[in-house]
A = this chain, B = another copy of it.
Amino acid sequence: MNATIIQAVNDALHEEMGNDEQTVVFGQDVAESGGVFRATEGLKEEFGGERVLDTPLSEIAIVGSAVGLATHGFRPIAEIQFSGFLPPAFDQLVTNASRIRWRTRGELTAPMVVRTPYGAGVRALEHHSESLESIYGHVPGLKVAIPSTPHDAKGMLISAIRDPDPVLFMEPKHVYRSYREDIDEGTYTEPLGEAAVRQEGEDLTVISWGAMMHQTLEAVENLADKGVDAEVIDLRTISPLDKETIVESVKKTGRCVVVHEAAKTGGFGAEIAATINDEALMYLEAPIERVAGFDVPVPLLSMEDYYIPPPPRIEEAIKDTVAY
């Protein structure tokens, strides 16, 4: 089946709701209208109103009740319409979702997924463009997954739903429909916590995730002609972090560029740089470059494209790093 990311998400939901009767999908506008991005289209028709529900405009209640429901043997799959509206529910993530197993010493668990489209580039209003993955990645007990391809979107979402612990599933909405690929029919999983090496290379390691993977691959391709042989890692999961893949690669190449859309300071690029410093410092032949969003809120739509690192910015960083 040839699918976009959004179709792959929809397919995964259909699959796993079919596989597991304990799954329940809810959020704003997910049932009657099939979601503002159509991620949940057709679910209500297929699985009925008990398992596919529209909720009030209540992010706290969406996340909090998902925790309660999960402890009762269900598998809630909640949608937060845009990741910019997840902060109202931040407390429920930190205080409850991530800690229920911990707080009750395993007596109660919260196998739940919070899906949310993140990132800029769709010409939307304020608060519709955030990338706060590093904040969620700092919350112990919370997994944070960010697919970049249709195949991964489907396989990782199914894994997330099956995960025994809470997973924040951040979907790169900027590329929801921009790229297609053939994905397997039926049920399959892609593991959480394992990065994917998208391309092997010797000159440097380029690490990215989510929507920025595509910009990154474009930049790498542009430089391939110019003789730069990059290894490209798609991180796929922010937490837990696949250190091994990163460290092995940088030990081989000795150079690294990290690309992300979130603001640079305190972004997840910092953790990657620190990790490489911890475990492969003496292999480094150049500073790790972070190509990232600026330390500002994402600009309104007229200027947002200046905010998102475009391939030329990535290319320059790669060139500098290789030439260092």
Contacts and interface: CB of A to CB of B under 8 A. Distances in A.
Interface of A: 84, 87-88, 90-91, 94-95, 98-99, 102-103, 126-127, 132, 134-135, 137-138, 140-141, 239, 241, 262-263, 265-271, 273-274, 276-279, 281-282, 284, 286-290, 295-297
Given A271-B265, A274-B273, A103 B126 contact: yes
Contacts of A98: 297
Given A265-B271, A266-B271, 15 more contacts: A84-B95, A88-B91, A102-B297, A137-B265, A140-B295, A266-B268, A269-B274, A270-B270, A270-B271, A273-B277, A274-B274, A274-B288, A274-B290, A281-B287, A282-B287
The copy count of this chain in the complex is: 2
27 contacts: A87-B91, A98-B297, A102-B296, A132-B138, A134-B266, A135-B135, A135-B138, A138-B263, A138-B265, A138-B267, A140-B263, A140-B265, A140-B296, A140-B297, A141-B296, A239-B266, A241-B265, A266-B271, A269-B274, A270-B270, A270-B271, A274-B274, A276-B277, A277-B287, A278-B289, A278-B290, A281-B284
Contacts of A274: 269-270, 273-274, 277, 288, 290
